[in-house]
């Protein structure tokens, strides 16, 4: 299938394994060059080598998306080596199982930082003329619910922050 992505530059967070790696692989199959990041350097290097088999350029930058300086470094390296960012996939995220009402504040803060704040900082850190930033308002954002929805069954921490991002991207106020 030709999706018209040949030569585009996609930045995918959390791309060393799992869904993020699968997303990056699909972009590579379509001919898009990649900038991938994740915390685990060994898994990131392995993923980059596997993705290069598709004949595309792959930049692999170790980064913790809860740290704004790491996010900006990934963006800067991508711009320096690829010239632009056409597609931004904020895949990095975290969820845990458990009763949400008993979740410590520090864990809620981490969920907020990794699931929502990192996506905002990535989008804001892209140059104003970057296609990934110019189109951010107009793109559809789908929220997936890996563990279902509900206070008892987990998944709510990731889902609530992703839902807040969807509302913010579509111009709605986010708050309680």
Give domain status of residue 17, yes or no: yes
- The answer to whether position 174 is within a domain reads no
Q: Per-residue pLDDT averaged across 153-157, rounded?
A: 46
Residue 3 in any domain: the answer is no
Range of the domain at 72: 9-169
Residue 43: pLDDT band (50, 70, 90) is: very high
Number of domains present in the structure of the chain: 1
Tens-digit pLDDT profile for residues 1-41: 788 889 999 999 999 999 999 999 999 999 999 999 999 99
Q: How many CB atoms lie within 10 A of CB 157?
A: 23
In a domain, 176, yes or no: no
Average pLDDT over residues 29-58: 97
Structure confidence at residue 138 (pLDDT): 35
In a domain, 44, yes or no: yes
Pairing of strands 87-89, 33-38: unpaired
Evaluate if residue 164 carries a pLDDT over 80: no
Sheet containing strand 87-89, strands side by side: 58-62, 33-38, 9-13, 87-89
Task: Assess whether pLDDT exceeds 60 at residue 106.
Answer: yes
Identify the residue whose tokens are 């990794």: 114
CB 126 within 8 A of CB 138: no
Q: What CATH number did the domain enclosing 125 receive?
A: 3.40.50.720
């Amino acid at each position: 299938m030709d999706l018209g992505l040949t030569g585009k530059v996609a930045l995918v967070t959390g791309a060393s394994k799992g869904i993020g790696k699968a997303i990056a692989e699909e972009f590579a199959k379509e001919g898009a060059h990649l900038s991938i990041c994740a915390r685990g350097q060994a898994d990131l290097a392995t993923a980059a080598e596997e993705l290069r088999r598709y004949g595309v350029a792959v930049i692999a930058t170790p980064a913790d998306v809860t740290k704004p300086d790491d996010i900006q470094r990934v963006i800067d390296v991508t711009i320096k080596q690829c010239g632009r960012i056409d597609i931004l996939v904020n895949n990095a995220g975290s969820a845990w199982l458990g009763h949400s009402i008993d979740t410590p504040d520090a864990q809620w803060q981490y969920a907020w930082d990794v699931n929502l704040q990192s996506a905002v900082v990535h989008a804001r850190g892209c140059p104003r003329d970057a296609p990934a930033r110019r189109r951010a308002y107009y793109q559809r954002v789908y929220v997936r619910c890996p563990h279902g929805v509900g206070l008892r069954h987990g998944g709510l921490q990731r889902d609530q922050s992703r839902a807040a991002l969807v509302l913010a991207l579509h111009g709605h106020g986010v708050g309680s």
